[in-house]
Structure 1
């Protein structure tokens, strides 16, 4: 990749024999090691090349990271914040696919048809790391560590989506809400936050859309869990009082 001048693309590598370019702001870039750490990559790499840097993209709440039909130009790793991934059907109805957070991979649905098939919108202020398609799928490029990492991360996301689908479509409506809260608890714990006290970044309507239940069902489930002393819910503020009871409510 030619890096004679400061690039506008997401990643760059210094030309052999040249000193590394001085970045305008180090906080706007991430190296390969940080990407691996965020993804919690546990696969095998031949030799870590940490000279590649990736540009970060900042979003405010309500801004889109990608939209349906936009040409595929790379993958994104969530560094900070929470987002909503959704598809809009021809009748205008929206279906919420997932709520990506720190360490999740975005944009892999764009590989198949070379365009993104879903829209991803920031629910909070977000910081994304872009891995350009040119760094992953250039013609004639053999499989390297970056490709290996991408394939591993894509496979992990598919497994997570399959697990989420099973969790949210194999139980009664109110039990799905309990499972959703338990999964969110596990996700916050994996990010190093409290698993029993957290703020949901999504609305109850979005939760219902994601779980294929009505807004009224979500509210009724929250009220039932609260009255039973399983959780304490104040708008989006959630406090889990008994994880064991929450699990029992799922069945």
Structure 2
């Protein structure tokens, strides 16, 4: 299925509640998916004969196989860009509108700017925020000037636990919640959970950097992939889940 199916599950009348409840993405799985997509974009941007801009990255275009490896799909809007193009040229307007999907398309595309790799970086940042908060950029709560990024920014880094996907939060501290009278916020600040909280804070910080308003302030996908992989390595030391080796390039 797609990442969309896993993040935003609809009630399934033909499937038992117990069976449906098992479809939970763990912390490590979410991070692995993000890393797969990051390396896929890094490959498109830096290792093709001509850089390729996907132009429509979103959860429904991230497909998960039986091993939960993520693959970037639907290249219907993808664009080749000239190898010699620079950032100033990328900001020039184009008569050809980049359609994309509302909420995931960078603001400069709405101004008629040409597709550029940093546009994909913006979309990836939104995707990364959605993976760990469970909130779509088009949710009804984002009105009157508020959007997903500002919602996260207001809580980052001091109140990260307040904005995490509640399913993910329960998965992280579930066992401790059953055996402790402490408030969930306290549980996430102790022991190995403290390391997890620090990792999640770092991931959301990377996401916010990716979806900066100005393209030149966004990270490059090579840096994003490296930073996320480093976080994954730290987490693998404390998480009991099997470490999945990620081939290069992943997600293709």
Shorter chain as denominator, the TM-score bin is: under 0.3
Q: TM-score if structure 2 supplies the norm length? A: 0.27
Q: Which has the larger radius of gyration?
A: 1
Instruction: Choose between structure 1 and 2: higher strand proportion.
Output: 1
| Highest RCO, 1 vs 2 (Cα 8 Å, sep ≥ 6) | 2
Instruction: Choose between structure 1 and 2: higher helix proportion.
Output: 2
Q: TM-score if structure 1 supplies the norm length? A: 0.27
